[in-house]
Chain A
Amino acid sequence: MTMIHCTLFGLTRTRIESLRPVLYRIAYAWCHDAADADDLVQDSLSKAWTQRAQLRETEALKAWAVAIMHRCWIDHLRARRDFDNVDDWENTLESPADPPDVSCNREQVIACVRTAIARLPMGQRQVLTLVDLEEFGYAEVAQILDIPVGTVMSRLSRARAGLKTMMDRVMQQAADRPALRRVK
């Protein structure tokens, strides 16, 4: 049905709009701010709408939209932070969030993982979220972010190693310092 629809009418606004939840999840994982993420998604969706003629095969819709969002995100960072070159932010940009062990000694794992991911350099964070959240293949991620597959693999590896180190430290602390016990 959708296929017939697509061949007849091309990419519809509803089809593009239906990507919103997916894009928002990724955007939030990248910038960890609901308002920023919403802006980014809005921006990307309207770009996707104006560039819809460039989409060759509708199967790749999601990857195509994420690639658009990636470019919007770089533009956004450039405008905001004035980086000299792209490698710079890919390797260095870390969120100003507290290290996870400070802000979640007893809080839920969720907040903890988010904080830990927010601490990863942006390049690693993007690869990790695309692979883990949306289960893109390495080749797809390489295409979306416009980097070699080898870089995808090494960033993913470093991201997971970094995340594990942070999480292990938190778990260790949690074990050392037991949380408040319920008396009732």
Chain B
Amino acid sequence: MNSVVSDETLHAFIDGELDVAEREALTVRMQSDAELVRRVCAMRSLRDMVKLAYAEPPPAPSSSVPARTHKIMTQRCALGCLVLFAGLAAGWVLRGVEATHLAIATPFATGVMHDPALQPVSLAHTPDPDRVILHLDNAAPGKMLAVLDEAERLLDAAEQQGRTLQLEVLANSHGLTLLRAGHSPYAVRIARMQQRHANLQWVACSQTIARFTAEGQKVELLPAARTAPTAIGEIVTRLQQGWTYVRV
């Protein structure tokens, strides 16, 4: 397939409407065709912009306006509680579980996580296997390793199946250690992963950085990492965008 790929085909690709064979062919071609990657990227960002433009439509002018704002607040609170609950539940289930058991066994092969210890949280009806955010908030060596193992496993699985996986690793609280230059035990591995996977992002919580800084520590991040204003904000935004959230 050396001809120019049509816009229709690329649209079907980003909307997940191609069958496995077509998708694979296109993914292979994208590896050597920078122009194609650029077009796909532009289409994706246009789609994200459309989504963002209507994420919060102006409230309806009916008499129920205060009620509606109230409802939005309630929704936000409910979402917060959901995230908190998921975190608590995961923590509870994980107590005493050895770190080696933690990794998810090819979680999305059937579209769901197999290990009940790692519950994906998603606002969508079925969790999106192609957009995943992994959240790390503590510095236990087992946890850090688990995040990296999990990330690589997901990316490899996606590569084998010809899916384009967008993966974000979010670190806050003591989990930030993973992304700190000079402190991270896995700096080399992170740099290597970053080189291999274009759709992998490392995100650090700015509030955590500020807190460490206030304690007199100098925080320098690995070159691969970017910052988000707050970890919880990042999680909520991603969930609203339809991402699947997994707390490790």
Chain B positions within 8 Å of A25 at CB level? 54, 57
Chain B positions within 8 Å of A129 at CB level? 50, 54
Given contacts A157-B8, A157-B11, contact A113 B49 (CB under 8 A): yes
Q: Which chain A residues numbered 121 to 176 have a C-beta less than 8 Å away from chain B?
A: 128-129, 131-133, 135, 137-138, 153-154, 156-157, 160-161, 163-164, 167
Given contacts A24-B60, A34-B57, contact A132 B47 (CB under 8 A): yes
> Is B43 an interface position by the 8 A CB rule?
yes
Given contacts A113-B52, A117-B50, A163-B46, contact A153 B60 (CB under 8 A): no
> Is A38 an interface position by the 8 A CB rule?
yes
- CB <8 Å contact, B57 and A160: no
- CB <8 Å contact, A28 and B59: no
- CB <8 Å contact, A110 and B53: yes
Chain B positions within 8 Å of A128 at CB level? 50
- CB <8 Å contact, A29 and B54: yes
B117 smallest CB distance to A (angstroms): 23
> Is A53 an interface position by the 8 A CB rule?
no
B241 smallest CB distance to A (angstroms): 11
- 8 Å CB contact of A160 from B46, B51, B53, B59: B46
Cα-based distance from A128 to B62 in the complex (angstroms): 27
Cα-based distance from A154 to B9 in the complex (angstroms): 11
User: Looking across the interface, which residue of chain A has its beta carbon closest to that of B15?
Assistant: A131
User: Looking across the interface, which residue of chain A has its beta carbon closest to that of B43?
Assistant: A160
- CB <8 Å contact, A163 and B57: no
- CB <8 Å contact, A35 and B61: yes
Give the interface SS of chain B, mostly helix, strand, loop or mixed: helix
User: Looking across the interface, which residue of chain B has its beta carbon closest to that of A26?
Assistant: B54
> Is B242 an interface position by the 8 A CB rule?
yes
> Is B22 an interface position by the 8 A CB rule?
no
Give the interface SS of chain A, mostly helix, strand, loop or mixed: helix
- CB <8 Å contact, A28 and B52: no
Cα-based distance from A114 to B58 in the complex (angstroms): 12
Given contacts A25-B54, A110-B53, A133-B51, contact A157 B7 (CB under 8 A): yes
- CB <8 Å contact, B52 and A164: no
Cα-based distance from A113 to B43 in the complex (angstroms): 14
> Is B42 an interface position by the 8 A CB rule?
yes
A150 smallest CB distance to B (angstroms): 10
Cα-based distance from A145 to B17 in the complex (angstroms): 18
User: Looking across the interface, which residue of chain A has its beta carbon closest to that of B72?
Assistant: A21
> Is B12 an interface position by the 8 A CB rule?
yes
Q: Which chain A residues numbered 27 to 49 have a C-beta less than 8 Å away from chain B?
A: 28-29, 34-35, 37-38, 41
> Is A109 an interface position by the 8 A CB rule?
yes
A155 smallest CB distance to B (angstroms): 11
User: Looking across the interface, which residue of chain A has its beta carbon closest to that of B124?
Assistant: A135
Mark A residues whose CB is within 8 Å of B: 24-25, 28-29, 34-35, 37-38, 41, 109-110, 113-114, 117, 128-129, 131-133, 135, 137-138, 153-154, 156-157, 160-161, 163-164, 167
List the 9 shortest-distance A-B pairs measured between CB atoms, nearest first. Answer: A38-B60, A113-B53, A28-B57, A132-B50, A34-B58, A110-B53, A157-B8, A35-B61, A113-B49
